Structure 1
């Protein structure tokens, strides 16, 4: 069919560890280089969660070298996914905060399971973290400036119905029909000539991609100086403790 399916399976919550990000980028590159593959549907094999976002343990008590390697892998994931020539459809079958939301935002189309318990959003502000400019740019391009500004400042996680109302996700469907709908949407997008669609996508996304490429090293330095602050390390440790207690 020319369509690949990528299922996240990194229990318990598909957090974006260095290993996960590296594997994701390699898999995406392989699909990109496969002429027969025209589209990819991204979803989760873990119940109730699409992806919980960046793995906090990768940002806590590690070396500068590790932070550099980790952040470069986060950048690489986004550059590959947001800049992909393939049609990318996110079948969001669970909650998707922070980096998980970024992955969904980076796709061409987002379909979410119609479950009010599932939420999605860039909630970094809740952890005392500032979402980088390219997270912000991706968000603005989907929902517009005002909604993005309010949502980012408040670190909002939007329940599925609200996310749909804001345009953060394109459609809501019953959970059992999610994959069927994703396949139907993919077929609709693939009915067009690839060349015209790809050039249009590049035209729409190039400025945002180029901005990170031009400031990549500066962005890594900003991340390192931010994440190594004792106040940030402290809030990350507190957050990890809170997660342990929840288990």
Structure 2
């Protein structure tokens, strides 16, 4: 069963991404195979986020996948086809700005992990305020250590803010531990771990339990997130500046190795 089986015709569809509304909650469904990150994916996702922000009746955002994956990280095949270091630089900057946008989004956000969330998919999930994970199938895993890639400083800052600095952080980040939904719940890495058939309904219930009937004032929520994640925002700006200052010829190899 897919989460989209409970949804009607999307309000908007772009390149395998669909925007649905269930009452006052927006649901973005990713149906791009393994939902790997590349420039077309980020551009389409941002356009749907624009639509959500313009909908003043919307009080929350859920993102989820369709099928086996929530997200499987960078689109390495797509990256290998890039012949322009400038395009690589553009992708790196778009990815950082997109994660920042999710982190600071002026609505409460929830990642409903229908399946595997690896590497960049896990980074995406942790850019949300809340996480709910299918307990029947799928792993949550920051597997960068296994694929010879390093995190950028701002990645580690916002993950640590949400995960803490104890053994969960070192197990997940240093050792790349794989967590099932039940294990992730036991470790406090997700907020709930229902069966797939209840993933959407429990995600909605959890999200509504925070914003109640009236919802959050968007400006206030945004400013609160800016305050709480101020060190992350500062580090993102430093990371972006470093890319601009780095010689174009070196950007491709550096970004591939660090993401």
C-alpha displacement at 1:160, in angstroms? 2.1
The structure whose residues are more often helix, as a share, is 1
Structure 1 SS opposite 2:28? strand
Q: What is the TM-score normalised by the length of structure 2?
A: 0.80
Deviation per residue, 1:219-246 (Å, 9 max, x gap): 56499847527x95xxx9xxxxxxxxxx
What is the 5 A alignment of 1:48-67?
A: 48-60=68-80, 62=82, 63-67=84-88
CA contact (8 A) 1:18 1:58 kept: no
**2:45 pairs with one of 13, 16, 24:** 24
CA contact (8 A) 2:141 2:179 kept: yes
CA contact (8 A) 1:64 1:224 kept: yes
Residues 1:6 and 2:31 are matched in the alignment: no
Structure 1 unaligned residues grouped into runs of 5+: 237-247
The answer for the alignment partner of 1:168 in structure 2 is 189
The answer for the alignment partner of 2:9 in structure 1 is none
C-alpha displacement at 1:91, in angstroms? 0.8
Structure 2 unaligned residues grouped into runs of 5+: 1-22
In structure 2, distance between residues paired with 1:178 and 1:119:
15
C-alpha displacement at 1:211, in angstroms? 2.1
CA contact (8 A) 1:40 1:88 kept: yes
Question: Judging changes above 3 Å, is the alpha-carbon distance between structure 1 residues 52 and 190 closer, same or farther for their aligned structure 2 residues?
Answer: same
* Count of residues in Structure 1 that have an aligned counterpart in Structure 2: 229
Residues 1:216 and 2:240 are matched in the alignment: yes
Question: Judging changes above 3 Å, is the alpha-carbon distance between structure 1 residues 58 and 111 closer, same or farther for their aligned structure 2 residues?
Answer: same
The answer for the alignment partner of 2:227 in structure 1 is 203
